[in-house]
């Protein structure tokens, strides 16, 4: 097996079989204390805060090219490296890394299905020694296709070809919980909480494809449409974006900033 053939969604057995390849980089986005206790052998640690930027009140924005170049180079990513990302929360932080790599023009990556939960609970090897990254040279080649902003969403609000997916909790979606100046959701958005994609009985892997497609189709989310996913900061919805891609959805965009951007802008419409 070569890393060129590694799937977007990678099972722990497949990762273990490929550990040690010189063109494979495993990136751990777990909490620092979790990484210090145990992690996939050879995995480098990345602090989630390094792959987002803040322009208050908007959170979870995409860093500029210079920042992405510095971070990705420092942890050892270049054009030939296949990145496998995981975390200890079900894949949100890991998926945001992969989405950011896609925005930066790097498409050689996989999400470890189930993340650290599946890896550890299914008795794959663990290590506690910190790994010092081998720095490489990363070049950013921005790709606008994975990104939606408020202007793009406004231009597509009435499009039958586009569906907005709100990955927040039902209480946030309905406006009962408020984490911005305004509560509610983007007009026309359907609610699919990000954890609905997780299989609690299989160590937080994605649910089987047929089951997940059915849950999405019930909400009008089908592969023939463009899907724009958002949450509060595009952390949870990054996981949703990746789940959609794993199901074969070809037009998927994430809204960096998400409700922290939309909900704090009084000029933008909302529904409750």
Catalytically active residues are 231
As a whole number of angstroms, the distance between CA 8 and CA 223 comes to: 17
As a whole number of angstroms, the distance between CA 230 and CA 126 comes to: 34
As a whole number of angstroms, the distance between CA 86 and CA 110 comes to: 9
DSSP, residue by residue, 104-135: TT---EEEETTHHHHHHHTT---B-S------
C-alpha distances out from residue 263 to 7, 57, 89, 188, 208, Å: 36, 9, 26, 15, 33
Q: How many CB atoms lie within 10 A of CB 8?
A: 13
As a whole number of angstroms, the distance between CA 166 and CA 148 comes to: 13
Backbone angles phi, psi at 115, to 5 degrees: 55, -145
Q: Please, are residues 173 and 166 in contact by the beta-carbon 8 Å criterion?
A: yes
**Preceding omega of 57 cis (within 30 degrees of 0):** yes
Q: Which residues contact 40 (CB under 8 A, 6 or more apart)?
A: 15, 19, 26, 28, 86, 112, 116, 119, 124, 125, 126, 127
As a whole number of angstroms, the distance between CA 196 and CA 212 comes to: 8
């Amino acid at each position: 097996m070569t890393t060129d053939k590694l799937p977007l969604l990678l099972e722990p057995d497949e990762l273990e079989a490929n550990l040690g390849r010189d063109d494979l980089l495993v990136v751990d986005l777990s909490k620092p204390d979790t990484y210090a206790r145990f992690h996939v052998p050879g995995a480098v640690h990345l602090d989630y805060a390094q792959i987002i930027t803040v322009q208050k009140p908007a959170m979870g924005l995409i860093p500029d090219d210079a920042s992405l170049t510095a971070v990705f180079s420092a942890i050892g990513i270049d054009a030939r490296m296949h990145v496998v990302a995981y975390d200890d929360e079900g894949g949100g932080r890991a998926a945001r890394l992969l989405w950011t790599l896609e925005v930066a023009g790097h498409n050689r990556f996989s999400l470890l299905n189930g993340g650290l939960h599946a890896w550890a609970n299914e008795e794959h090897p663990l290590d506690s020694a910190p790994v010092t990254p081998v720095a490489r040279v990363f070049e950013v080649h921005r790709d606008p296709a994975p990104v939606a902003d408020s202007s793009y969403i406004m231009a597509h609000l009435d499009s039958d070809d586009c569906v907005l997916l709100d990955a927040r909790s039902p209480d946030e979606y309905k406006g009962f919980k408020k984490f911005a100046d305004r509560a509610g959701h983007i007009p026309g958005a359907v609610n699919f909480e990000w954890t609905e994609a997780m299989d609690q009985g299989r160590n937080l892997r994605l649910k089987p494809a047929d089951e997940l497609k059915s849950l999405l189709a019930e909400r009008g989310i089908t592969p023939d449409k463009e899907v724009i996913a958002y949450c509060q900061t595009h952390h949870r919805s990054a996981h949703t974006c990746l789940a959609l891609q794993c199901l074969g959805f070809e037009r998927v965009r994430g809204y960096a900033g998400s409700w922290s951007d939309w909900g704090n802008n009084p000029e933008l419409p909302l529904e409750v």
